[in-house]
Amino acid sequence: MNVWGGLSVDPKNGMVYFATGQPKNDFYRPGKEGSQLYGNCIVALNANTGQHAWHYQVIHRDLWDLDLPCAPILADFNYKGKPVPGVVQLTKTGNVFLFNRLTGELLSDVEERSVPPSTLLDEQAYPTQPYVRWPQPFSKQVVTRNDLTDRTPEAHADALARFEKADTGWYVPPTQKGVIYYGIHGGAEWSGGAYDPTTGNLYVNANELAWHITMIDINAKEKSAEAFAQHPGRRVYLEKGCVGCHGSERQGNGGIPALTSLSKKYKKPDVVQIVKNGRGAMPAFSQISEDEVQALAEFLLDMESQTAVKQSNQKPVYRAMNYTKFLDKENYPATKAPWGTLNAINLHTGELVWKKPLGEYPELTAKGIPVTGRENFGGCIVTKGGLVFIAATGDEKFRAFDKDTGELLWETTLPFGGYATPSTYVVHGKQYVVIAATGGGKLGTKTGDAYVAFALE
């Protein structure tokens, strides 16, 4: 398991906290029953000895790619009117888990609720998942018919048709029919939130768009025959999960490149190297056999295969066909706006103080559609002067909101998308905010390399 969000250290109490991602592979995990501890856990260790202090599992046997995205946030707040040394874990499904960070006592009101079983062979979904009754969630959790887009009648009809064919519901394990659910890109993301101890408000940016994950059995008779007839390397491509990121037709997806005309720039050893060593956000496939990687390279370079790859066993092996967002035909989310939000959650009361759309599509605003918010990656900060600063959106804007009301007070366009958390500092008595603006990433906007600083008057 990886730790996406890094560590949080409490030097005064000699503690260290982190939150884990989900166990591999994504979406299908045959084999033994059980919760797969320590996947999707917040863990507390004694910083001096490394000894385990406490842990809590937020999702049991995660089959949905709902890794805990961000570091735990150390925050002191009042619980039932009394101050506690707290720690907060945010999730991609919009939950707020509150703990006493010294004892590990769970302060959120959580109930273990039954969830549906897996329909895939040899897979045992865990029978229950934690349902948070308090605090209030900060993003949508289940896609319902009422949630489908009403942007245009055509977009609605198309979303409804796909919704009716798919499975939906709270923690429905991925199926061959396809499941539509919120959370792969958050809810909360790796940047977590910003806490204001003077008010007890926690500021969290969230994504509120759904995903459509469909499982295929790559050993199904007709499918594998087809894969083999096409190319032995295509089978490896499906089996090793390249398909999940690069797409069933190698078409790419968002920030993930298409693999359709690689022969223009690569020779076989180059592709073998990329696959074995990984690159950037692409993981290394060090366990792949020599035959498999050769066949794969031949397939990707559109060469005839010179390699025979043994067809493994005939049992079903499921893979997700594409990590696909649930979008309409014009590439807007096929659920109702807001699609990206900035939220203020009061930790003393567990209530949402305000929720505002974050980011816009200028062409929709121009048509008179209220600001929709949009997918965002990057965090916020809150200043003593009462401002919340955040970029994060694919419209390449940098914004300041009033921390008490959520009113948008200022915005400017960055040279490139600012998919990072801003920082603030003082020089000769003057306060500045600065943000790294590089574009690219999951939102795939134009790339560059800039730090942009602004003076606060």
Cβ at position 301, least distance to ligand HEC in Å: 9
Angle between helical axes of 268-277 and 290-300 (0-180°, round to 10):
120
CA distance 282 to 305: 25
In the structure encoding, which two tokens stand for residue 103, read together? 């004892």
CA distance 46 to 346: 29
Which residue number, 261 or 412, has a Cβ lying nearer to ligand HEC? 261
Which residue number, 66 or 87, has a Cβ lying nearer to ligand HEC? 66
Which residue number, 228 or 432, has a Cβ lying nearer to ligand HEC? 228
Tokens 């203020």, residue located: 344
Contact 340, 359 (CB under 8 A): yes
Torsion of CA 137, 138, 142, 145, to 10 degrees: 120
Sheet of 210-217: strands edge to edge?
179-182, 210-217, 318-325
Which residue number, 267 or 384, has a Cβ lying nearer to ligand HEC? 267
Cβ at position 185, least distance to ligand HEC in Å: 13
Cβ at position 373, least distance to ligand HEC in Å: 25
Give me the residues that bind ligand HEC (CB under 6 A), please. Answer: 240-242, 244-246, 256-257, 259, 262, 271, 274-275, 279-283, 285, 296, 300
Tokens 């007709």, residue located: 222
CA 121 and chain centroid, separation: 27
Q: Omega before 135 cis (within 30°)?
A: yes
Residue 149 one-letter amino acid: T
Cβ at position 310, least distance to ligand HEC in Å: 17
Cβ at position 269, least distance to ligand HEC in Å: 12
DSSP designation for 371: P
Cβ at position 4, least distance to ligand HEC in Å: 13
CA distance 338 to 320: 27
Please identify the residue of the shown chain whose CB is closest to the bound ligand HEC. 280
Which residue number, 148 or 300, has a Cβ lying nearer to ligand HEC? 300
What does each C-alpha distance from 303 to 46, 73, 79, 220, 261 come to in angstroms?
A: 55, 51, 64, 25, 12
Which residue number, 107 or 275, has a Cβ lying nearer to ligand HEC? 275
Cβ at position 251, least distance to ligand HEC in Å: 13
In the structure encoding, which two tokens stand for residue 266, read together? 């690569």
Cβ at position 248, least distance to ligand HEC in Å: 13
Which residue number, 65 or 360, has a Cβ lying nearer to ligand HEC? 65
Which residue number, 115 or 296, has a Cβ lying nearer to ligand HEC? 296
Cβ at position 211, least distance to ligand HEC in Å: 14
Cβ at position 237, least distance to ligand HEC in Å: 6
Which residue number, 173 or 241, has a Cβ lying nearer to ligand HEC? 241
Contact 455, 434 (CB under 8 A): no
Which residue number, 286 or 413, has a Cβ lying nearer to ligand HEC? 286
Helices then strands (H, E): number in the chain? 7, 23
Tell which residue, 417, 418, 398, has the closest CA to residue 408: 398
DSSP string, 298-351: HHHTTPPP--------SS--EEEEEEEE-B-TTSSBSBPSPSEEEEEEETTTTE
Strands 82-90, 96-100: pairing kind: antiparallel
Which residue number, 52 or 279, has a Cβ lying nearer to ligand HEC? 279
CA distance 454 to 431: 9
Cβ at position 292, least distance to ligand HEC in Å: 9
CA distance 73 to 204: 11
In the structure encoding, which two tokens stand for residue 71, read together? 């570091």
Tell which residue, 297, 296, 272, has the closest CA to residue 286: 272
Cβ at position 256, least distance to ligand HEC in Å: 5
Contact 418, 396 (CB under 8 A): yes
Which residue number, 80 or 265, has a Cβ lying nearer to ligand HEC? 265
